[in-house]
Structure 1
Amino acid sequence: MASFPPSVNEKLIARSRTVGELLAPTAPFDKKCGRENWTVAFAPDGSYLAWSQGHRIVKLVPWAQCLNNFLLHGTKNGSQAVSPRQSSEGGQRNKPREHVIDCGDIVWSLALGSSVPEKQSRCVNVEWHRFKFGQDQLLLATGLNNGRIKIWDVYTGKLLLNLMDHTEVVRDLTFAPDGSLILVSASRDKTLRVWDLKDDGNMMKVLRGHPNWVYGCAFSPDSSILCSVGASKAVVAAILV
């Protein structure tokens, strides 16, 4: 699966051209199995690109820096493969930095989500939170082969949460576009699960409308409706209140 930042003009896509290619390293892996690149995702503001390199590895790339390297080192048609350079900016949390994350299992799905400070958690009974979500918060959700969802801090590469309620492969992930940090996961266990990451990853709902594997899910622009598709060749819509 692939994604564009919300600011992309769809009319320009037809005139798009290749500007570069990101290549996953073969070393230190010597087996072909597990090397597949299953998914990529952009941050809502376009600041980062996350892509699955296979063999449990996800790479977080500052997109402006990556694109600049393509333009500096690419050929006339922009098709030359370039490995983005590590940012020289040290230690500052709000400076884009490249990270390589070992997720511990094969990565099937990715999603990047950012918070809006004034968008409160939907759980009103929580008196404390493990994390303080500010305007600069940017999270990476990774859906794994073993059914787990791991949540990472994009700026530091640190693991924040480990969500373990799915029993099969997590095929897709999507954040609500309203900045609430509501995350929805779609799984081969025939369910979709709704998580409130501002409530320390509390699972709010389990949606069971699919009789077979669930492949993908997407929010409406106002975050009120969730649509999903699965092996039953049907689209299921749910209103999230």
Structure 2
Amino acid sequence: MCSSQDNAAGLQPTSAASSSSDPALILELKTRRPPSLEGRPGCETWSVDFSPDGAWFAWSMGHGIVWVVAWPLDSQDEGQDSQVDRADKSFSCGHPVWGLAFGPRAPKLPGNKSPPKGNNNNNNEGNALLLATGLENGTIKIWNVRTGVAMLDLSGHEGVVRNLLFLPNGSLTLVSSSRDKTLRVWDLPHKGKKVQVLSGHKDWISCCCVSPDCSMMATVGRFDRMVCLWSLRSYTFIRNLTGGAHKTLYLLSACDFSPDGALLATAAFSGASWWVDLWDPYTAQKLATLADYFDDYGQNQISSIQFSPSGVHLAIVTDDRALGIWEPGTPGLTMRTQADRDSNGLCCKYHPQGGVIATGTRDGHVRFWRAPRVVPGLRHLCRAALRHSVSTHQVEPLPLPKRIREYLTYRDISTHEH
């Protein structure tokens, strides 16, 4: 039985002074666990997320607990009701939590009980901020962040629910990927009873992402080495991207669309090397590759990647260092933290307004890093605005000079290997 508690677990915020290494560590959140649980399997932070408005932060701190805190951490809201709403909360899910995602503030879901009489409007479901949690046993639980109530249980997956995301169009449509080799698209207004099941991967699905216009979804299979594109309009398979690997044996681990939807980044690793490929999802053309090699600690697995909100940078988390930042089109990482055997980064998430990246670690802690703030150029802003609603196929026939057409389709990003 799932339950929630306010202030059920102690947090230990640890501030860190900026060092010469960028991105700079702002602070670290550590959990207080009984000594018997320290370092035991199940304590990993597999997923972190900011709410769409950036006002909340959540992470799976291990042992079936999800912690939700108001952001920024030192924020003080005025008014008694606001302070109650903004109180830190923990959700006990009963099983290890592998995926989580904030949803939009949504109307009341069918089947919810009406608030008790005498409660004020702050307790109703009409403006609920949702949090979806994917569990090791295949169950997905939907929570009301403000009240701490579990609103829905979604069943159907037969393996670990590794990734969750709500469609970025503000609808109550949830996408889940699982180690059972399937994807599911849930319609929450119908209590999850209307669900589309997509199958085609031959092994675990490591990651899934959705294009900003909600037309496409990309998935990567960890062991089947497949990068699949799916239509979210017809719920059908589009194509498998090939040619992105330059090693005989490799594993795929992560993927992400750029904010304008014109690029798809995929991450892979093999032995002591890793690389990131940039694709045109409309033409299946590989546009660029970033590769890095380390001999410090042996295998260096990419755990997570994400484009910055502006689309200028790509955050990369590897198993042997906390964070690296790449600016596509440059021959190497723009900045990266020092190698650290104890980092064991597992996930990352940009704040919606940029400037901060949160990373989760294998020991259940969370680190917040100061991300580079770059004012995008006018050309980049124009390209992003156009490409958000215009596909590559629509750009190519336009009567434009070749250089402009190549810029709009990202063909000017040459392939680099470092």
Taking the aligned partners of 1:154 and 1:22, their CA distance within structure 2 comes to 20
Within a 5 Å distance, the mapping from 1:1-241 to structure 2 comes to: 16-27=23-34, 30=37, 32-64=40-72, 66=73, 68=74, 95-115=85-105, 129-131=110-112, 134=126, 136-231=127-222, 232-241=224-233
SS in 2 for 1:22: strand
CA RMSD of superposed structures (Å): 2.7
Q: Is the 8 A contact 2:106 2:130 kept in 1?
A: no
1:95: Cα distance to partner?
3.1
Taking the aligned partners of 1:240 and 1:28, their CA distance within structure 2 comes to 46
1:240: Cα distance to partner?
1.2
CA shift in 2, pair 1:217/1:40, >3 Å: same
CA shift in 2, pair 1:108/1:226, >3 Å: same
CA shift in 2, pair 1:157/1:133, >3 Å: closer
CA shift in 2, pair 1:133/1:176, >3 Å: farther
CA shift in 2, pair 1:147/1:116, >3 Å: closer
CA shift in 2, pair 1:149/1:169, >3 Å: same
CA shift in 2, pair 1:16/1:147, >3 Å: same
The structure richer in strand per residue is: 2
Q: Which amino acid aligns with 1:191?
A: T
Residue segments in structure 2 that go unaligned for 5+ positions in a row:
1-20, 113-123, 234-418
Taking the aligned partners of 1:92 and 1:130, their CA distance within structure 2 comes to 27
1:92: Cα distance to partner?
5.4
SS in 2 for 1:212: coil
Taking the aligned partners of 1:25 and 1:171, their CA distance within structure 2 comes to 25
Q: Which amino acid aligns with 2:225?
A: K
1:157: Cα distance to partner?
1.3
1:89: Cα distance to partner?
6.4
Residues 177-218 of structure 1, C-alpha deviation per residue, up to 9 Å, x if partnerless? 001011010001110000011222224200002111111111
1:61: Cα distance to partner?
0.6
| Structure 1 match to 2:320 | none
1:62: Cα distance to partner?
0.6
Q: Which amino acid aligns with 2:150?
A: L
Q: Which amino acid aligns with 2:156?
A: D
Taking the aligned partners of 1:229 and 1:22, their CA distance within structure 2 comes to 30
SS in 1 for 2:225: coil
Q: Number of residue pairs matched?
A: 199
SS in 1 for 2:207: strand
Taking the aligned partners of 1:207 and 1:216, their CA distance within structure 2 comes to 14
SS in 1 for 2:26: coil
SS in 1 for 2:30: coil
Q: Is the 8 A contact 1:173 1:185 kept in 2?
A: yes
SS in 1 for 2:24: coil
Taking the aligned partners of 1:29 and 1:202, their CA distance within structure 2 comes to 41
Percent identity, please: 43
Taking the aligned partners of 1:89 and 1:51, their CA distance within structure 2 comes to 27
Taking the aligned partners of 2:50 and 2:128, their CA distance within structure 1 comes to 15
Taking the aligned partners of 2:44 and 2:190, their CA distance within structure 1 comes to 33
Taking the aligned partners of 1:37 and 1:116, their CA distance within structure 2 comes to 27
Question: Is the radius of gyration larger for structure 1 or structure 2?
Answer: 2
Taking the aligned partners of 2:177 and 2:50, their CA distance within structure 1 comes to 19
Query: Given the two structures, how large is their TM-score scaled by the length of structure 1?
Result: 0.74
1:63: Cα distance to partner?
1.1
Query: Given the two structures, how large is their TM-score scaled by the length of structure 2?
Result: 0.44
Q: Which amino acid aligns with 1:240?
A: L
Taking the aligned partners of 2:228 and 2:78, their CA distance within structure 1 comes to 46
SS in 1 for 2:134: strand
Residue segments in structure 1 that go unaligned for 5+ positions in a row:
1-13, 70-84, 118-127
Taking the aligned partners of 1:214 and 1:155, their CA distance within structure 2 comes to 32
Taking the aligned partners of 2:214 and 2:64, their CA distance within structure 1 comes to 30
